[in-house]
Amino acid sequence: LKVSIGKSHLIVNKVRKDLPVTENAVGDIGVDKVSFVNESKDLLEFSLKGRPMKELDEGTEIIKTIYKICEEVKWQ
């Protein structure tokens, strides 16, 4: 997920937290920050539909988490 010029932010589901893509390895994979979201039915739906996000229920935990991450990096 490219968030601004020269900065990037990777969002990974928590089931994959065992991969070498962790907060400690961000420099190794060439991103500035990594965030994790919980595995859920909503995440599956988000993955299947992708964009536009406006089609997804904003009340779901996955959408709230993604908005929070976007807010943290000043990208919406």
> Please, what are the averages of pLDDT over each run of 10 residues along the chain (76 residues)?
54 58 60 71 69 64 77 63
Q: Tell me the pLDDT tens digit for each residue of 15-24.
A: 555 555 555 5
HEC profile of the chain: CEEECCEEEEEEEHHHCCCCCCHHHHHHHCCCEEEEECCCHHHHHHHHHCCCHHHCCCCCHHHHHHHHHHHHCCCC
pTM of the model: 0.44
pLDDT number for residue 24: 59
Parent domain of 37: 2-72
pLDDT number for residue 2: 44
Domains: count for the chain = 1
